[in-house]
Amino acid sequence: MVAGALLLSAVAVRAADIQLGSLRLAWPEGFTQRKQTPPFELAGPEGQKILVSVMRSKTDQTGEPNPEEQEKLTSFGESFMAKQAAQFGKVVAPLVRSRLAAGSVVAHVVSEDSGLFGKGYFVQFMVVAPSGRLAFFTIEGKGSALEQHARFLPIISSAEWAP
């Protein structure tokens, strides 16, 4: 009976697409989706805790590109991420912005701290659709911040927005 309850509360995520709100990603095997509603929560096989918040701008009524709104949300998100990274600890990879082929902006910043129980990481990603949809990702755990960043960058870069 307990095993059945656990199966209902956690869904294993396979190496396949997962849908988080209007965002679709190619996600690796071995992760468990612990929360099916925003903010989405996933747990990794190495103790990673991943939170994903997916939002839609008030101006995004049609899904049509809105460059001004995309830039406004990107600037807001980058400021927020930079503050969060500095509060966590030492920034080991500064904020970087790039653009995916479909026009979404991807930004990321990496920080780590050292404590009594070793190094911890706080890796942040943001994906902003041309229409003004926004997804924030935070990935936390113990170990190398830069290794986790390298692991998740191609995953986040696989993001596609549903219409």
Do residues 66 and 132 lie in contact, with contact meaning Cβ atoms separated by under 8 Å? Answer: yes
pLDDT category, 29, cuts 50, 70, 90?
A: confident
Helices (H) and strands (E) in the chain, counts: 3, 11
What angle is formed at CA 137 by the lines to CA 132 and CA 143, rounded to 5 degrees?
160
CATH code linked to domain 2-161: 2.60.120.1690
Pick the more confident residue, 130 or 59. 130
Tell me the chain's radius of gyration from C-alpha atoms. 16
Q: Determine the pLDDT at residue 15.
A: 56
**Sequence ranges of the domains in the chain:** 2-161
Token pair listed for 85: 């990274």
Predicted confidence (pLDDT) at residue 60 exceeds the cutoff of 90: no
138 vs 108: CA distance, rounded Å: 10
Q: Determine the pLDDT at residue 6.
A: 32
Residues of the chain above pLDDT 70, percent:
90
Global pTM reads: 0.86
Which uninterrupted H or E stretch holds 28?
A: none
pLDDT digits (tens, 9 = 90+) for 81-138: 999 999 999 999 999 999 999 999 999 999 999 877 788 999 999 999 999 899 999 9
Predicted confidence (pLDDT) at residue 9 exceeds the cutoff of 60: no
**Distant-in-sequence contacts of 22-25, Cβ < 8 A, 24+ apart:** 22/54, 22/56, 22/133, 22/161, 22/162, 23/52, 23/54, 23/127, 23/133, 23/135, 23/159, 23/160, 23/161, 23/162, 24/159, 24/160, 24/161, 24/162, 25/155, 25/156, 25/158, 25/159, 25/160
